[in-house]
A and B are shown apart, each in its own frame.
Chain A
Amino acid sequence: GAVVSQHPSWVICKSGTSVKIECRSLDFQATTMFWYRQFPKQSLMLMATSNEGSKATYEQGVEKDKFLINHASLTLSTLTVTSAHPEDSSFYICSARDLMRGGELFFGEGSRLTVL
Chain B
Amino acid sequence: GEDVEQSLFLSVREGDSSVINCTYTDSSSTYLYWYKQEPGAGLQLLTYIFSNMDMKQDQRLTVLLNKKDKHLSLRIADTQTGDSAIYFCAEKDNFNKFYFGSGTKLNVKP
Contact = CB atoms under 8 A, between A and B. Distances in A.
A16 interface: no
Interface residues of A, number: 24
Given A93-B42, A104-B45, A112-B40, A46 B97 contact: yes
Q: At the interface, is chain A mostly helix, strand, loop or mixed?
A: strand
Given A6-B42, A109-B42, A103 B96 contact: yes
Nearest to A6: B42
A107 B44 contact: yes
Nearest to B8: A41
A93 B1 contact: no
Contacts, number: 48
A93 B98 CA distance: 13
Interface in A12-42: 32, 34, 41-42
A97 B42 CA distance: 15
A101 B40 CA distance: 27
B102 A93 contact: no
A43 B102 contact: yes
Interface string A97-116: 10000011111111010000
A46 B101 contact: no
Contacts of A1: 45
Interface of B: 1, 4, 8, 33, 35, 40-45, 88, 96-103, 105
Interface of A: 1, 4, 6, 32, 34, 41-44, 46, 49, 59, 93, 95, 97, 103-110, 112
7 contacts: A6-B42, A41-B8, A43-B103, A46-B98, A46-B99, A59-B1, A93-B43
